[in-house]
Amino acid sequence: MSLRLRLVLVIVALVTAVSVALSILHLDSLANALSNDALQRSDLASQQVQTFVTDHIKEHSSEYQPPASFDETVGLWDQIVTTDPDIKDMLVKTVAFTPEIIQINVAGQDGHILASSDPSRIGQQIANLKQFTAWRDLPMYRRIRDLFLRRTDYQVAAPLGVGDQVIFTIQVITSSVLLRDALQPQVQWVIVVSLTALLASLLFTALAGNWLLSPLRRIERMIDRIVQGNFRRGEQTGEPAKEFAAVESKLNLLGEKYSGVRQEATEKQHGMEQLLERMESQLDVASRLAAISRITGGVAHEIKNPLNAISLHLDLLRARLDGGEGELTSEIDILSKEVRRLDRVVKTFLDFSRPVDVRLVEVDLSALVHEVAALMTPQARLLQVELDFDAPSGEVMQIRGDADMLKQAVLNLVTNALDAMKEGGHLRMSMTRNGDSVILEVADNGPGIPPEMREKVFQLYFTTKPAGSGIGLAMTYRAVQLHNGTIDFFSEDGRGTTFRLAFPAVVGHA
């Protein structure tokens, strides 16, 4: 953008801002004057109506039997106002002689109009309008916006009654349209003045710009020739050529310095990018190595549980070799299932950071937990822990889930509970049905979880065991989440911990 155009824009913007500010102030002053005048006329009209209605009520009250109660007084006044034609004529004349007012209504206690300058309004509910005084006290921009962009009616309401009891409400209505019509000639005059000032500023800028910017245009042409390489000494008449030569020399020097600095900055930026890439690569390798190391420890931890189960069942198998082929087949089946699950556990740990392949089928969670209880009972006996499983008889706890993943999740909870009861105790596993949810609780009477550690129990790699990996509860939490379930726990120091798992039940199974 050229300097001349900037000068024009600045002067035009300044003149426009001054014109707009003065116009707004002038319009606000006019709006204040008109609104105050309209408010005074509305107040005067409401007082006149009050006086006129009061006089006519007093005049015609003698024609009726004196009321014995306030309700009879209200009824008598309503009848007088409704039937007196002079009141209606007075309302019509008042509106006709007051341009700012569009309607005057007299309403009873129930809000229905008894007399009005507009006969079609009689019997209707009085409109709930904004008070004219409240509009007059609004900020300037809101009043101007209402005047030119909205059509809003305002009211001046005056009560009429006996003592503190209000019987009538006199409503004088004025409209922003009337005020806008009064302001219209002034607005047109302000627009004409503002446009005239704007055109004058443009003319002044055009004349002054040529005179003020002529030396700068000569320098601009000289710099263009320097950039193009066409500058020659003595070409500018009336000006010493050595000054332009000095300018050219300094510009060339600055260009050389700028080029050198730019090239140096580019080289440094390239070096920094390479350094950051190497650091990122090293950090990535370090993170992967650390993760692999910790996951390897976790895999070893998780392999220990099924290996213990396999070892125990092998001992039982050896002890029962003479018991018959049926028992031998049952134990072999258990070993096969554990080996398959162990294989999938190892793969799951190695792929912990990748999406898990969840194979959802209908699973009887009660039967699955019963299998875990049977599997861990020998280990519980060795630790002098009494393991109980409680489930409603005859009730199917059917959910959609991955049997191996769910079994591993429950097995992690049971293993942690057994590890917590070093000196024996009682471990209770219970199943219940609560509406559309299947609930599993695993409760032990161990020492409990310390309060400062309860918020971290589901964090990966967090453990309180000297040889623990911190993966068991994290795996359980992830398994529950993958099955659209919830897991929480409550623990008391010295009284044990209860984990509660809830899964959506399969529709149609109760």
Q: Which residues contact residue 251 at a Cβ distance below 8 angstroms, ignoring those fewer than 6 apart?
A: 223, 226
Quick one: average pLDDT of 30-41? 74
Give the count of domains, the chain.
2
Asked if residue 333 belongs to a domain, the reply is: no
Asked if residue 347 belongs to a domain, the reply is: no
Asked if residue 248 belongs to a domain, the reply is: no
Where a domain ends, among 164, 198, 232? 198
Where a domain ends, among 168, 198, 228? 198
Asked if residue 386 belongs to a domain, the reply is: yes
Of the listed ranges 21-25, 415-419, 495-499, 502-506, the one predicted with least confidence? 21-25
Backbone φ, ψ for residue 304 (5° rounding): -60, -40
**Residue position matching structure tokens 């070799």:** 321
CA distance 240 to 242: 6
- The single-letter DSSP state of residue 446 is S
Of the listed ranges 5-9, 83-87, 235-239, the one predicted with least confidence? 235-239
Q: What is the pLDDT of residues 43-73, one digit of tens each?
A: 888 888 888 888 888 888 877 888 888 888 8
| CA distance readout (Å), 29 to 23, 143, 168 | 10, 11, 35
Where a domain ends, among 198, 226, 250? 198
CA distance 465 to 417: 12
Report which of residues 39 and 497 the model is more confident about. 497
Amino acid 149: pLDDT? 66
Q: What angle do CA 91, 96, 97 make, to 5 degrees?
A: 105
Give me the residues paired with residue 290 across strands: none
- Residue 315 pLDDT exceeds 50: yes
At 186, the pLDDT band (50, 70, 90 cuts) reads low
Q: Which long-range contacts (CB under 8 A, 24 or more apart) does 106-111 make?
A: 106/49, 106/53, 106/81, 106/168, 106/169, 106/170, 106/171, 107/168, 107/169, 107/171, 108/74, 108/78, 108/167, 108/168, 108/169, 109/74, 109/166, 109/167, 109/168, 111/169
Contact between 179 and 31 under an 8 Å Cβ cutoff? The reply is yes
Residues of the chain above pLDDT 70, percent = 64
At 488, the pLDDT band (50, 70, 90 cuts) reads very high
Report which of residues 401 and 38 the model is more confident about. 401
Report which of residues 244 and 27 the model is more confident about. 27
Quick one: average pLDDT of 475-492? 90
Contact between 380 and 418 under an 8 Å Cβ cutoff? The reply is yes
Cα dihedral sign, 437-443-448-453: negative
Of the listed ranges 41-55, 332-346, 377-391, 401-415, the one predicted with least confidence? 332-346
CA distance 302 to 296: 10
At 427, the pLDDT band (50, 70, 90 cuts) reads very high
Residue 250 carries which side chain, given as an amino acid letter? K
- Residue 233 pLDDT exceeds 70: no
Quick one: average pLDDT of 231-246? 49
**Residue position matching structure tokens 């001349």:** 4
Asked if residue 346 belongs to a domain, the reply is: no
Quick one: average pLDDT of 424-435? 91
Asked if residue 495 belongs to a domain, the reply is: yes
**What domain range is 173 assigned to?**
3-198
- Residue 263 pLDDT exceeds 80: no
Mean pLDDT in the chain?
Answer: 76
| CA distance readout (Å), 163 to 60, 86, 106, 488 | 20, 25, 18, 69
Amino acid 63: pLDDT? 79
Contact between 434 and 501 under an 8 Å Cβ cutoff? The reply is no
Asked if residue 365 belongs to a domain, the reply is: yes
Task: Name the residue among 182, 5, 200 with its Cα closest to residue 98.
Answer: 182
At 466, the pLDDT band (50, 70, 90 cuts) reads low
- Residue 156 pLDDT exceeds 60: yes
CATH number at residue 407: 3.30.565.10
Contact between 101 and 174 under an 8 Å Cβ cutoff? The reply is yes
At 253, the pLDDT band (50, 70, 90 cuts) reads low
Quick one: average pLDDT of 179-193? 68
**Residue position matching structure tokens 């917590």:** 420
**Residue position matching structure tokens 């710009």:** 209
Order the strands of the 425-434 sheet from edge to edge. 385-390, 425-434, 437-444, 496-504, 486-492
CA atoms within 13 A of residue 288's CA, in its CB half-sphere: 7
pTM listed for this prediction:
0.36
Quick one: average pLDDT of 456-461? 77
Asked if residue 322 belongs to a domain, the reply is: no
At 420, the pLDDT band (50, 70, 90 cuts) reads confident
- Residue 285 pLDDT exceeds 50: no
Amino acid 121: pLDDT? 86
At 274, the pLDDT band (50, 70, 90 cuts) reads confident
